[in-house]
Amino acid sequence: MKSYQIITFGCQMNEHDSEVISGMLAQRGYTETEENPDIVIINTCSIRENADKRFFGTLGQLKKVKIANPDFAVCVCGCMMQQEHITTKLRQSYPWVDVIFGTHNIHEFPDMLEEMFEKRAAEGEWTVKQVRSSKEFRVDRIYEDRAEIVEGLPARRLFRHKSFVNIMYGCNNFCTYCIVPYTRGREKSRHPEDILDEVRGLVADGVKEVTLLGQNVNSYKGKTKIDEKTWDFTDLIYALNDIDGLERIRFMTSHPKDLSDRLIEAFAKCEKLCNYIHLPVQAGSSNVLKRMNRKYTREQYLELVRKLREAVPGIAISTDIIVGFPGETEEEFEETLSLAKEVCYDSAFTFLYSPRKGTPAAEYVDQIPEETKHVRFNRLVDIMNEGSKSRNAAFVGRVCRVLVDGPDKKESGILNGRTEEFKLVDFEGPEELIGQIVDVEITASNTFSLRGRMV
Ligand code: SAH
Ligand code: SF4
Ligand code: F3S
């Protein structure tokens, strides 16, 4: 049977889609490998510029593999396939790509792959010339959007003890810099019963922690199948909290504009909901937020942080920030710095603004020079790191519950795990503990992780 390798770029959505692709292929008898696979699948991301460059670079490399071995198959999918200028380029200049599918038809991939192999088999022997212009064997199917959700697809999880669970797909927010609403389509929520069934199944299979995924989980609206009642995100959290055997619930991402008081209260009331929230602010200036179409102000965001910390003392907060959004003045940027100092985040993902074709902000005339973006970026990172360092230092001396993920990649005898606050902890221990929750006393801290001793 043939072997495959999946190369994944992008966010947790894409990682989870790759787990589903892997699950479907495994179900049909294909095996996963990292060495000389017969099939390579590249799951792409469109969020920032260098992703495109890496993608086309990887394809160039794969052409060489294909010339050496005409049986080799190159498949591409993910967010970039939902962008017309990308698929046009692929179709015209990359004839050695065999299967092209998008974010709305992942479930069709195994059939598409087999269809391609059948077409090829019908042609008999392959020649290098055919490889160079193999488009005629290509199976290429992309949908713009899809209203229904395909349920019941298998997934091959990366970890035995924890899992991603999609609760919704797509995004309706159209932040002016962002490509996601174009690549993932309109927002659709799964039925609550389907989510609960999936989580019960995962727990029966050894899962202790689930991370609920959606571009904006706070706008989840799932209709029950029996009486068509609408559940919101907090209803779902309470129901999940009642599942026996499940130990931890996380979610991402939460849009500040829809973060409700009821959800904040749920952090205090649901013991399984971890004391951690990823709350992307994007910018510290209300003016910039307005131009980004984020629908909240600096003051409203700070008020949310205050409420969260009041209701859940010790809650860890992380964020995403974009530096150099079109028209961002020095004063507006300094408002981002002052917000970062004021909030003192546990961790942050900071990005240089990258114009995305088809989004409104890419057309704004006042783009910021790269040089200025870089200087601002470095200033921000310094502040963010100071924040993380001081938040981490406060953990020293505390005993934390740590879910053990696996052995450290560099140091033998050392295990890695996460606290409820999503802090990475290294400590000495036997590998039998992987997948268990253990008590670890924190003995030292630095900017990105903690060190501890099992108690
Ligand atoms: N749905 C999530 C974000 C998904 S994209 C949310 O709303 O928070 C992840 C992050 O990528 C965003 O939070 C943003 O900070 C960053 N990002 C998105 N588009 C970008 C762009 N054009 N340039 C730079 N960063 C971008
Ligand atoms: Fe993009 Fe905004 Fe939707 Fe997040 S909420 S995916 S940043 S459009
Ligand atoms: Fe990238 Fe698509 Fe995720 S653009 S960040 S993989 S939703």
Cis-peptide into 359, omega within 30 deg: no
- Is the beta carbon of 406 within 6 A of some atom in ligand 2? no
| Ligand 1 atom nearest to CA at 354 | 23
**Spatial distance between the Cα atoms of 306 and 390, rounded to a whole number of angstroms:** 18
Q: Residues 141, 144, 148, 154: is their CA dihedral positive or negative?
A: positive
Tell how far the Cα of 216 is from the centroid of ligand 2, in angstroms.
7
CB 307 within 8 A of CB 315: no
Q: How far apart are CA 404 and CA 438, in angstroms?
A: 7
| C-alpha neighbours within 13 Å on the C-beta side of residue 292 | 26
- Identify the residue whose tokens are 């571009």: 215
The position carrying tokens 């003192």 is 344
Q: What is the largest CA-CA distance in the chain?
A: 70
* Nearest alpha-carbon partner for 100 in 151, 53, 135: 135
Residue of 322, 368, 373 best suited for mutating to test ligand 1, as the one with most atoms within 8 Å of CB: 322
Q: Is the CB of 184 under 6 A from ligand 2?
A: no
- Which ligand is located closest to the Cα atom of residue 253? 1
Contact 267, 312 (CB under 8 A): yes
Structure tokens of 430?
């036997």
CB-based burial label for 70 (10 Å; 0-12, 13-18, 19+): middle
Å from CA of 10 to ligand 1 middle: 11
Q: Is any ligand 3 atom within 6 A of the Cβ of residue 77?
A: no
Q: Which residues pair with 205 in a beta bridge?
A: none
pTM of the model: 0.95
- Candidates 424, 350, 423; CA nearest to 382 is 350
CA 327 to chain centre: 28
Distance CA 170, CA 182 (A): 9
Question: Tokens at residue 415, please?
Answer: 């295990």
Residue 427: strand pairing partners? 415, 452
Distance 46 CA to ligand 3 centre (A): 6
Closest CA to 239 of 259, 220, 253, 252: 220
- Ligand 1 contact, 48 CB (< 6 A): yes
> Given CA atoms 80, 150, 28, 156 in this order, what sign does their dihedral have?
positive
Owner of token pair 């989510």: 195
Q: Rounded to an integer, what distance in angstroms lies between the CA atom of residue 61 and that of residue 130?
A: 18
Q: Out of 12, 13, 47, 301, give the residue to mutate to test ligand 1, the one with the largest number of ligand atoms within 8 Å of its CB.
A: 47
370-393 and 330-343 helices, crossing angle to 10°: 10
Cβ atoms of 215 and 172 closer than 8 Å: no
Residue 176 CA, ligand 2 centroid: distance in Å: 9
Tens digit of pLDDT at every position of the chain (455 positions): 899 999 999 999 999 999 999 999 999 999 999 999 999 999 999 998 877 888 999 999 999 898 888 889 999 999 999 999 999 999 999 988 999 999 999 999 999 999 999 988 877 666 655 665 566 788 999 999 998 999 999 999 999 999 999 999 999 999 999 999 999 999 999 999 999 999 999 999 999 999 999 999 999 999 999 999 999 999 999 999 999 999 999 999 999 999 999 999 999 999 999 999 999 999 999 999 999 999 999 999 999 999 999 999 999 999 999 999 999 999 999 999 999 999 999 999 999 999 999 999 999 999 999 999 999 999 999 999 999 999 999 999 999 999 999 999 999 999 999 999 999 999 999 999 999 999 999 999 999 999 999 99
Report the C-alpha gap between 177 and 291 in whole angstroms. 9
**For atom 15 of ligand 1, which residue has the closest CA?**
320
* 177 and 356 Cβ atoms separated by less than 8 Å: yes
Taking residue 320's Cβ as centre, other Cβ atoms within 10 Å add up to: 14
Going by CA atoms, what residue is nearest to atom 2 of ligand 1? 215
Give the Cα separation of 153 and 110 in Å (integer). 12
